[in-house]
A and B are shown apart, each in its own frame.
Chain A
C-alpha cells in the first residue's frame, strides 16, 4: 500500500479566530494611565505643641462653601492665586531660622510679607460644602506656584528646569549621573520647601 501523506490542516479560518480575539481585546482595552497630584498627609501626633509663627509668614487661603476664594482676607479670582502665592513665597524680606538672608529670592523684599521661603507657610482652609473640583483647582495653583519658583531657581543653577530634572530622574534611558541629579533635585527642594498646611 502506498504511504499516504497526512492531509494538510485547513488554516483558512485561523484569521477568523484571530479576529475574534482581536476584537475582544480591542473592546476591553483601557489605555489611560493614572495621573494626579501627589500630596502627603500630616501624621497624627498626640502631643501637639503650638509653634508660634509670625502672621506675616502665613499666607491664608480660604475656600468657602460657595467655592469663593478668600486670600489674605481679600476676595480673589482663581487665576490670580498663582501670582499672589509666588509673590508671597519669593518675597525674602528677612532671614531664615539660621539668620541667613535669602540671596536667591527675586521678590520685593517687603518687610511686612514673608521672611524667607524656608519660613513661608501656605495655609489652606476649606469648608465641608466646598466642591472637590474647586479644591483641586486651588491645590493645583499652589503646587504650580512652587513649581514655577523651583523651575526658575533650577534654570539658574543647573541650566535645566526642575520639571525636566525630575523627568530625567524617572527616565530609565537617561544617560547621566543619577546620584548627582538626585542631589541637585533635593537642593532645589530645600531652597523652596513645599510647606502647605491644611486646616481641619
Chain B
C-alpha cells in the first residue's frame, strides 16, 4: 500500500530566505545615508575637552577645521612631541593658516562666506600659547566666528 504511505516528517522545513536581501538592503541604505566620509585622516591625536554649554554645528559644509595636538606615535620621530597644527591632511605652521582660510573661502559660494565658522579641534593637553597664535592669525584674516570643539559632558573631566 505504498500509495498511502505517510510522508516522512523528518527535519524542520527550510526557512524561506527570499526576503533576506530586502532586509539587508534596508540596513544598507540606512548606513549609506547616515555615513559621513572622513575627509582627512588625522596625523595628530586630539582628545577633545568636555563642556556642558555646547551648541551643535548645523551646516557641515560651512565649517573649516583646524586641528591642534601632539603628533601621533607614527610621526613622533619626524615631528617630535610638541603640539602641532594640522590643516587638511598636512602638518602646518601658524603662518599657513591665512592661506588655508583664503583657499577655503575660494571654494565656497560668495554668499556663504559670511557664515563660515572655524572649528578649533584642540587637544585638551595642548598649551594655550599655540591656540593664542592660531586665534591671532584668524583675526588677521577676519575669520572671527570660531567654535571650540568639545564633547558634551562635565568640565571636571578636563583635568586628567
Contacts and interface: CB of A to CB of B under 8 A. Distances in A.
Interface of A: 11, 14-15, 18-19, 21-22, 25-26, 28-31, 33-44, 78, 126-137, 139-141, 143-144, 147, 170, 200
A18 B145 contact: no
Contacts of B158: 133-134, 136-137
A38 B145 contact: yes
Contact of B151 (A22, A35, A127, A134): A35
Contacts, number: 153
B49 A11 contact: no
Given A36-B119, A127-B128, A29 B34 contact: yes
A144 B152 CA distance: 13
Contact of B32 (A19, A25, A126): A25
Interface string B113-140: 0000101101111111101100110111
Contacts of A25: 28, 31-32, 35
Interface string B45-76: 00001011111111010010000100000000
B53 A21 contact: no
B17 interface: yes
B20 A139 contact: no
Given A28-B37, A39-B146, A137 B24 contact: no
11 contacts: A33-B57, A35-B56, A36-B55, A37-B53, A37-B54, A38-B55, A130-B128, A131-B126, A133-B49, A133-B125, A133-B158
B126 A18 contact: no
B147 A144 contact: no
Q: Which of B17, B63, B142, B150 neighbours the largest number of chain A CB atoms within 10 Å of its CB?
A: B150
Interface residues of B, number: 58
A18 B24 CA distance: 6
Given A36-B119, A131-B125, A41 B139 contact: yes
A41 B129 CA distance: 16
- Chain B interface, >50% SS class: mixed
A135 B131 contact: yes
B149 interface: yes
Given A78-B155, A134-B158, A15 B20 contact: yes
B12 interface: no
Nearest to A29: B35
A35 B21 contact: no
Contacts of A44: 139-140
A140 B21 contact: no
Contacts of A42: 139, 144
Contact of B149 (A34, A41, A133): A34
A155 B145 CA distance: 29
B148 interface: yes
Contacts of B122: 132
A41 B128 contact: no
B36 interface: yes
A200 B132 contact: yes
Given A29-B31, A133-B159, A36 B148 contact: yes
